[in-house]
Structure 1
Amino acid sequence: MVHIVDEDEDLRQSLVFLFESVGIQTLTYPDAASFLSEFDPAEPAVLIVDVRMPGLSGFPPQEQLLARDFPAPVIFCSAHSDIPMSVRALRQGAVDFLEKPYEPRKMLEVVQEQLLEATRLFARHRRRLEIRSRLETLTPREREVLRLVISGLSSQVIARRPGTSVKTVDVHRARIKVKTESESLATLVRDVLQNQITV
């Protein structure tokens, strides 16, 4: 799905025609507020947004999407771009900054590339949410043990802490494995590290 946020209705419709001519689904919005109230955060998507619009400009919506952990690639556009604006957009995570009027072939190339990237990003995002949800089932003590395991400590070393035995640590490790539905604790540790999740 491609979300197009631009106050120019003619431009929105021209992009709809362009994308649908190659089978890309689109949704359009006249302003950022409409997009933020209507989009489906679970649906893989690419966002094309005019950086200069009445009301909310392009930057605050991008910041809100980052705060909501919405991983859609963002393409900023403007008929009045300048270097500082482009730099700000890219530093905040935009994948490209295109000037109006669009060159259709360039627009299609960028969007098709980013739709593939969106599929990967959203799959990783779903996996991260799934892992976080499973970690929420752990008790504070189990989380502590998991943190120590992630830091590379063995059960024997962890058990040297006051009031802890190797048997107790092994029980915690077993419970962590069951609660998180992991093949092994090593697999869980790998998933946590690869997805940059704080335990």
Structure 2
Amino acid sequence: MQYQQREIMSKLFMSSITIVGITIFSLSLFNLSTMPNSLLILILFVVLLGVTEYYPFPAWKGYTTINFPLIYVMLLIYGLNLTIVVYSSVVLAVNLLHERPLRSILFNPAQLAISLYLTYSIVVNSFAMHELTFSTSILNGILTYLSFLLLFYIINNLLVDIVLWLRPQPYSFVNWKRKRPRSLELMMSVKIVTFNYTTMDSQSQVNFQVM
């Protein structure tokens, strides 16, 4: 009986997340203002996201993807609504290509949409910003990025952990540790943005000296 109860609870939770995620996706789709000026750049983002999602590389005992810097740049350029629509659609397409079960096909993009929406809302309100934009301050830009990165992975992993914990199958600490490849993605994302901001800072200093 306990097995059946846990199975029902896990399915109910996945269904709830799926419904909320689809609602966020639908609202984002309906609230799209205008299409970007350069469709070629947007298509390039879609292709890169698709490749990184479809071809994760092995790390430790699992696989990981390095796509968060792409998502963050899309947020800065296109805003929240278009980023949610594009990212969720790419994840949905990749899950379809991998022929995963229907509940996983719908749950994965839904929980990512929720994670992206909640993280964006928390970061924007915490930094008292109207929307996420490029920062003229190097330190402020790094702090905003790191805050967004950490919150996104906390929320995203929490939603997945709840599903795994509710399932009848045991979810031990050893199983949880196998999710360590995600930490690799987080560390590499931090290094990428730190390098980019450092490069931007050095270039601005050179330009200032030249002027």
The bucket for the TM-score relative to the shorter chain is under 0.3
- Structure number with the bigger relative contact order (C-alpha 8 A, sep ≥ 6) is 2
TM-score normalised by structure 2 residue count: 0.26
Structure (1/2) with the larger strand percentage: 1
Q: Which has the higher helix share?
A: 2
The structure with the largest alpha-carbon Rg is: 1
